[in-house]
């Protein structure tokens, strides 16, 4: 080996140059690695494809936001006319948009008249007036119905905002909710597709740009910008501002109601074809035993066909006599006929109209003052309603309320104590459109109950009132109480063998004659007796003056509209003495 060359290879200068080259190489490697780390873990600088982000697959398609919520629905444009998915809009914005499948028409019940827009027609009927539009109000595409935005804004209480540059449509119908808002603290903050700096960029924010803030996810907040775009922003880059409430552009509709000048003291008068000829005579007898009664509801009408036909026991003589006795007459209509298909009737515009015409015409001709709808539940829809009847029943009430409002007739509707299985009665909407909603505060235990118990315990009635008041104004709510109790036949183990409904008056007389000593039940706020008779055991939760007093206290304390009793003739006169003492003007 050459000694000189060997020394040069290991000289300090040579070693320094090598170190520099090595450091440079390592620096290059480090920069590359840092760049790769930044690319993988740093903020994403790519901008989202907006059509893909918004799910827009067609040129005429726009993203749809409803009341500040991003939906999975879309608006469509046909020759510059915007159309919206009817089912979604009616379910989320305005349930009064009712699709009548039978005649392929869109109905909207205003306080005094019905609006009808038929498929593919560039006009709509409002009462007796035909109004023109620039395009069809209702169209059908691929089996689905769509409502034009122009028609929606004509009939409904809603406002819209369009963002053509982003193909986004905002719709608002909620004018009572305050929406949280914030502004961006700095220029250059990003609105992203995900709650991460790795989310693609939706848009660049500028300082003081206002956003609606919906929810937080980790260190990010989901927002909607004022140009309609939505996405995530780092929460620390937002400064909260005052909440925003959207403003109406027109006055809301007012569904006026009739209200008696005094508390309602009502009783149902059960009639049938066998005592039809005696009903006026019987009326005078019942009124004499119910001093203070001011409304009587005779069970006159019953559905007889799915075309809207009814059987009737209505009588002008009865009405005249009731008026002479100082009573209003609210004719009852029931759906108890097991042969009548409730769904078929209620979902048919023609059948609803026929039924309404008959009831209103009779009211005007015979002179009665109101209509009491007693449509009760049934598992099959025959002889009662099931869940499928719900929206159609509500539409029937809307359409009936129009005619009643125009003719000055009182409209009342009987309802169960609220439960999950009867929500389809739509008490909230009833509370808007009818004059009185009557809570049937009984049948806690009924003929088919597997266990014996009270017909109407205090807590049962109290809960029914409180739950109903969550949706209905107190001034429209009448609480109905039982004028009967139920005698339970039980075995030694307490198993129910059968039961029988007995009037409160008759039961009080039996207790007295048998020398029974009632026991007060504090929870039920009722007297209770049990006894043996002819080898059988019986249990009775009594409906008497003491139990009625507690129910009347509830009616007073919640400032309800009044009371009704099922049914007249079963109660002692002392019930009415108590009612008059408790329910004063």
The C-alpha atoms of residue 192 and residue 210 are separated, in whole angstroms, by: 16
Structure tokens belonging to residue 30 = 């480090």
Are 235 and 101 within one domain? Answer: no
pTM: 0.90
CATH number at residue 335: 3.20.20.80
In a domain, 444, yes or no: yes
Inside any domain, residue 362: yes
Do residues 136 and 282 both lie within one domain? no
Residues 285 and 358 both lie in one domain: yes
CA gap 49, 47 in Å, rounded: 7
Q: Which of 150, 172, 194 is the last residue of a domain?
A: 172
Domain boundary among 123, 147, 172: 172
What pLDDT, on a 0 to 100 scale, did the predictor assign at position 19? 56
Q: Cα 547 to the chain's mean position, in Å?
A: 32
Residue 64 lies in a domain: yes
Do 396 and 404 touch, CB atoms closer than 8 A?
no
Nearest-10 crossing angle of helices 349-366, 390-407? 30
In a domain, 131, yes or no: yes
Q: Are residues 88 and 226 in the same domain?
A: no
Q: Go through 523-540 and write b for each residue having 16 or more CB atoms within 10 A of its CB, e for each that does not.
A: ebbbbebeeeeeeeebbb
State residue 69's pLDDT score: 86
Residues across the chain: 585
Residue 472 sits in the same domain as residue 342: yes
d(Cα 530, Cα 538) in Å, to the nearest integer? 5
Is 312 within the bounds of a domain? yes
Residues 6+ apart with CB under 8 A from 142: none
Which residue range forms the structural domain that includes residue 210?
179-244
Domain contains 308: yes
Residue 272 lies in a domain: yes
* 255 within some domain: no
Q: How many other C-beta atoms are found inside a 10 Å radius of the C-beta of residue 150?
A: 15
Kindly state whether residues 110 and 128 are assigned to the same domain.
yes
Note whether 168 and 186 are same-domain residues.
Answer: no
Same domain, residue pair 204 and 323: no
**DSSP SS3 for 490:** strand
Q: Residue 498's CB: how many other CB atoms inside 10 A? A: 10
Taking only the tens of pLDDT, the chain with its 585 residues reads 454 444 455 555 555 565 555 555 555 555 555 545 445 568 999 999 999 999 999 999 999 999 988 899 999 999 899 999 999 999 999 999 999 999 999 999 999 999 999 999 999 999 999 999 999 999 999 999 999 999 999 999 999 999 999 999 999 999 999 999 999 999 999 999 999 999 999 999 999 999 999 999 999 999 999 899 999 999 999 999 999 898 998 899 999 999 999 999 999 999 987 777 788 889 999 999 999 999 999 999 999 999 999 999 999 999 999 999 999 999 999 999 999 999 999 999 999 999 999 999 999 999 999 999 999 998 777 889 999 999 999 999 999 999 999 999 999 999 999 999 999 999 999 999 999 999 999 999 999 999 999 999 999 999 999 999 999 999 999 999 999 999 999 999 999 999 999 999 999 999 999 999 999 999 999 999 999 999 999 999 999 999 999 999 999 999 999 999 999 999 999 999 999 999 986
Which distant-in-sequence residues (6+ apart) come within 8 Å of 178 by Cβ? 243, 244, 245
Token pair for residue 350?
Answer: 């023609």
User: In this structure, are 156 and 211 located in the same domain?
Assistant: no
pLDDT at residue 4, as a whole number: 46
Which residue among 172, 192, 216 closes a domain?
172
Q: CATH code at 154? A: 3.30.457.10
Cβ neighbour number for residue 216 with a 10 Å cutoff: 12
Q: How many domains would you assign to the chain?
A: 3
Distance CA 488, CA 160 (A): 60
Look up the CATH number of the domain holding residue 240: 2.30.30.40
Identify which of 51, 161, 136 has the alpha carbon closest to the alpha carbon of residue 86: 136
Say if residue 66 is in the same domain as residue 145: yes
Please indicate, yes or no, whether residues 218 and 299 belong to a single structural domain of this protein: no
- pLDDT of 438 reads 98
Q: Does 237 lie in the same domain as 207?
A: yes
Please tell me the distance from the alpha carbon of residue 300 to that of residue 312, in angstroms, as a whole number.
5
Q: Which residues contact 348 (CB under 8 A, 6 or more apart)?
A: 102, 306, 307, 308
For residue 585, the model assigns a pLDDT of 61
Pairing of strands 123-126, 519-521: unpaired
Cα 87 vs. chain centroid, distance in angstroms?
Answer: 16
Contact between 520 and 527 under an 8 Å Cβ cutoff? The reply is yes
- Conformation bin of residue 356: beta by default, left when phi > 0, alpha when psi is -120 to 50: alpha
């Amino acid at each position: 080996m050459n000694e000189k060359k060997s020394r040069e290879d290991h000289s300090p200068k040579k070693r320094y140059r090598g170190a520099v080259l090595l450091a440079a190489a390592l620096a290059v490697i480090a920069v590359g690695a840092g760049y790769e780390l930044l690319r993988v873990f740093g903020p994403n600088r790519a901008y989202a494809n907006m059509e893909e982000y918004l799910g827009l697959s067609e040129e005429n398609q726009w993203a749809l936001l409803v009341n500040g919520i991003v939906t999975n629905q879309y608006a469509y444009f046909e020759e510059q006319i915007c159309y919206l998915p009817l089912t979604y809009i009616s379910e989320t914005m305005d349930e009064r948009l009712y699709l009548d499948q039978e005649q392929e028409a869109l109905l909207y019940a205003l306080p005094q008249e019905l609006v009808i827009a038929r498929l593919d027609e560039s006009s709509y009927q409002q009462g007796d007036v035909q109004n023109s539009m620039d395009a069809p109000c209702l169209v059908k595409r691929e089996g689905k119905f769509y409502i034009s935005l122009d028609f929606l804004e004509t009939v409904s209480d809603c406002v819209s905002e369009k963002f053509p540059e982003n193909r986004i449509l905002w719709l608002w119908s909620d004018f009572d909710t305050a929406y949280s808002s914030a502004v961006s603290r700095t220029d250059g903050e990003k609105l992203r597709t995900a709650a991460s700096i790795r989310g693609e960029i939706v848009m660049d924010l500028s300082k003081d740009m206002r956003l609606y803030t919906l929810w937080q996810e980790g260190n990010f907040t989901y927002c909607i910008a004022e140009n309609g775009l939505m996405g995530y922003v780092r929460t620390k880059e937002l400064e909260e501002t005052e909440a925003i409430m959207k403003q109406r552009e027109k006055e809301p509709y007012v569904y006026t109601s009739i209200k008696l000048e005094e508390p309602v003291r009502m009783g149902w008068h059960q009639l049938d074809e066998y005592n039809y000829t005696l009903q006026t005579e019987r009326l005078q007898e019942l009124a004499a035993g119910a001093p203070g009664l001011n409304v009587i509801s005779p069970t006159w009408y019953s559905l007889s066909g799915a075309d809207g036909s009814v059987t009737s026991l209505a009588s002008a003589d009865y009405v005249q006599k009731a008026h002479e006795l100082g009573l209003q007459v609210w004719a009852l209509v029931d759906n108890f006929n097991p042969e009548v298909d409730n769904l078929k009737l209620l979902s048919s515009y023609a059948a609803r109209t026929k039924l309404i015409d008959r009831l209103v015409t009779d009211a005007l001709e015979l002179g009665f003052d109101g209509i009491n709808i007693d449509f009760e539940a049934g598992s099959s829809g025959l002889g009662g309603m099931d869940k499928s009847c719900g929206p159609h029943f509500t539409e029937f009430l809307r359409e009936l309320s129009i005619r009643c409002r125009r003719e000055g007739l009182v409209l009342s509707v009987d309802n169960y104590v609220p439960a999950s299985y009867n929500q389809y009665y739509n008490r909230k909407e009833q509370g808007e459109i009818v004059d009185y909603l009557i809570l049937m505060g009984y049948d806690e235990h009924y003929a088919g109950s597997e266990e014996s118990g009270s017909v109407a315990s205090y807590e049962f009635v109290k809960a029914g009132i409180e739950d109903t008041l969550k949706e209905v104004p107190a001034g429209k709510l009448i609480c109905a109480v039982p004028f009967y109790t139920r005698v339970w036949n039980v075995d030694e183990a307490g198993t129910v063998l059968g039961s029988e409904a007995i009037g409160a008056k008759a039961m009080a007389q039996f207790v007295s004659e048998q020398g029974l000593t009632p026991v007060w039940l504090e929870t039920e706020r009722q007297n209770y007796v049990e006894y043996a008779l002819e080898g059988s055991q019986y249990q009775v939760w009594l409906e008497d003056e003491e139990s009625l007093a507690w129910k009347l206290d509830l009616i007073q304390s919640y400032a309800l509209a009044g009371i009704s009793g099922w049914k007249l003739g079963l109660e002692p006169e002392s019930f009415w003495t108590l009612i008059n003492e408790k329910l004063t003007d």
